[in-house]
Amino acid sequence: MDGRTNLVGRNSVEITELIAPHVDRDFRGRQVAQWIVDRNASSFGVMTNLPLALRRDLDTHFSLEEPEVLQVVESSDGSCKYLLGFSDGVGIESVSMREGAKATFCLSSQAGCAVGCTFCVTGAVGAGRNLRPEEIVGQYRVMLRRLDTEVERVNIVFMGMGEPLLNTGNLGPALTVLSERVSLKRITVSTAGVLPGVRWLAGLEKRPKLAVSLNAPDQERRTKIMPIARRYPLVDLMKALREFPLERGRRITFEYVLIDGFNDAEKDARLTARLIRGIPAKVNVIPLNEDREHFPDLRRPAAAVVDRFAAGLRDAGLTVTVRWSKGEDVAAACGQLRQRQPIR
Ligand code: SAH
Ligand code: SF4
């Protein structure tokens, strides 16, 4: 931060307005916004269709500040885990995954998480500050630039560090910027069930997709692993989800972290299916990523148990995907990379 106004995290209209006093012609605003938003430019110097004097003037008043890439760890499955640092010394993680011409970016919304789910490394680390729009959009920009070959399509999921719906003040503007490049159909916000946030999302004129971390089929067990369930009980959450406005063809994604002996019984699959019956839904079953240091007693179920659970959901008519965490060989799952690194 050097007194210049950072244009990363601003949408095209804002960019145009901000630079208006500096430009000679009206169309410059659109040009600059195109460079920043559409072409992901990282400096004014590359904006070769602008007069040199204007580029210099812009550089005096504005910056295109992005998070610093502190470390990139590539996993054997092709996913890349980024350790990113901000100017105040705060560090976060973002993940880029590749499947052919499709890339998925997993973004963080906070530098930690106050929700404190017992199976989550980010939760174990505790609260961290909210990320600002430019810090959210910056993650996307940095990872996009590093993709080696062309991708046809980028998906964005807010499944990194933090609870996005506890940071709606920054998430909203960030979504506006991101949606200029990536259709909201391909942006998913994942929540532990923060009801005011779900209502905020429901009230947006245009909204991203919603994913809800269910993780247990009943209030009692959910509260055990997700303290936030006490504040926002499952019945209220399910009611809000039944009322959630869904665009044609859209479904709500339910995430379900499978923990050995806790929520992985066949019966739990049936209970889960019953709970979400009537909601256009798909379920992501995520076998627990173990962490001996933070939750040594929680284990990932055997593969056969995972299969049985998924089959139980499918038998009940649900669409199910089993998500074996990517990047495990580099400790690159959910909040784990930052754990191994001394952050400034
Ligand atoms: N706070 C939001 C988004 C970030 S967490 C939320 O909770 O939805 C993203 C996903 O990672 C959630 O579905 C969460 O249940 C899952 N997750 C957290 N820790 C995990 C672990 N140790 N193993 C597997 N999945 C985990
Ligand atoms: Fe926070 Fe989500 Fe982790 Fe829970 S699972 S502690 S809400 S990041």
> Is residue 150 exposed (0-12), middle (13-18) or buried (19+ Cβ within 10 Å)?
exposed
Nearest to 283 by CA among 273, 293, 274, 297: 273
Q: Which residues sit with their C-beta closer than 6 Å to ligand 1?
A: 119-120, 159, 163, 190-192, 213, 215, 255, 257, 286, 288-289, 325, 334
Which ligand 1 atom is at minimum distance from the Cα of 162? 1
Amino acid of residue 263: N
Whole-angstrom distance, CA of residue 113 vs CA of residue 110:
7
Whole-angstrom distance, CA of residue 329 vs CA of residue 210:
29
Q: CA angle, corner 272, sides to 268 and 275, nearest 5?
A: 135
Whole-angstrom distance, CA of residue 251 vs CA of residue 185:
11
The whole-number pLDDT of residue 340 equals 46
Six-digit token string for 164: 């996005």
Six-digit token string for 139: 């993650």
Q: What is the value of pTM for the model shown?
A: 0.95
Q: Are 214 and 236 in contact (CB under 8 A)?
A: no
- SS3 assignment, position 279: coil
The whole-number pLDDT of residue 334 equals 47
Q: Are 19 and 144 in contact (CB under 8 A)?
A: no
What are the strands, taking DSSP E only, across the chain?
A: 5-6, 62-63, 68-74, 80-85, 91-99, 102-106, 153-158, 187-191, 209-213, 252-258, 281-287, 319-322
Whole-angstrom distance, CA of residue 278 vs CA of residue 157:
25
Q: Which helix (H) or strand (E) holds 92?
A: strand 91-99
- Cβ 106 under 6 angstroms from ligand 2: no
- Cβ 162 under 6 angstroms from ligand 2: yes
- Name all domains of the chain by residue range, CATH numbers in brackets: 5-63 (1.10.150.530), 68-330 (3.20.20.70)
The whole-number pLDDT of residue 332 equals 43
Could you list the pLDDT tens digit for every one of the 344 residues in the chain?
689 999 999 999 999 999 999 998 999 999 999 999 999 999 999 999 999 999 999 999 999 999 999 999 998 888 999 999 999 999 999 999 998 899 999 999 999 999 999 999 999 989 999 999 999 999 999 999 998 677 889 999 999 999 999 999 999 999 999 999 999 999 999 999 999 999 999 999 999 999 999 999 999 999 999 999 999 999 999 999 999 999 999 999 999 999 999 999 999 999 999 999 999 999 999 999 999 999 999 999 999 999 999 999 999 999 999 998 755 554 444 445 454 443 33
Whole-angstrom distance, CA of residue 217 vs CA of residue 225:
12
Six-digit token string for 34: 């195109």
The whole-number pLDDT of residue 326 equals 55
Bridging pattern class, strands 62-63 and 187-191: unpaired
| Runs of H (alpha helix) within 155-226 | 168-178, 195-203, 219-225
Q: How far does residue 150's CA lie from ligand 2's centre (Å)?
A: 32
- Cβ 117 under 6 angstroms from ligand 2: yes
Task: Centre a 10 Å sphere on the Cβ of residue 238 and count the other Cβ atoms it contains.
Answer: 17
Whole-angstrom distance, CA of residue 186 vs CA of residue 196:
23
- Cβ 115 under 6 angstroms from ligand 2: yes
Whole-angstrom distance, CA of residue 341 vs CA of residue 343:
6
Task: Centre a 10 Å sphere on the Cβ of residue 90 and count the other Cβ atoms it contains.
Answer: 18
Is 117 assigned a catalytic role?
A: no
DSSP 98-111: EETTEEEEE--SBS
Q: How far does residue 34's CA lie from ligand 2's centre (Å)?
A: 35
Which ligand 2 atom is at minimum distance from the Cα of 116? 6
- Cβ 128 under 6 angstroms from ligand 2: no
Looking at all shown ligands, the one closest to residue 289's CA atom is 1
Q: How far does residue 116's CA lie from ligand 2's centre (Å)?
A: 6
Looking at all shown ligands, the one closest to residue 106's CA atom is 1
Is 334 assigned a catalytic role?
A: yes
Q: How far does residue 120's CA lie from ligand 1's centre (Å)?
A: 6
Q: How far does residue 120's CA lie from ligand 2's centre (Å)?
A: 6
Six-digit token string for 242: 């039944």
Q: How far is CA 212 from CA 81, 191, 197, in A?
A: 23, 5, 12
Whole-angstrom distance, CA of residue 161 vs CA of residue 341:
15
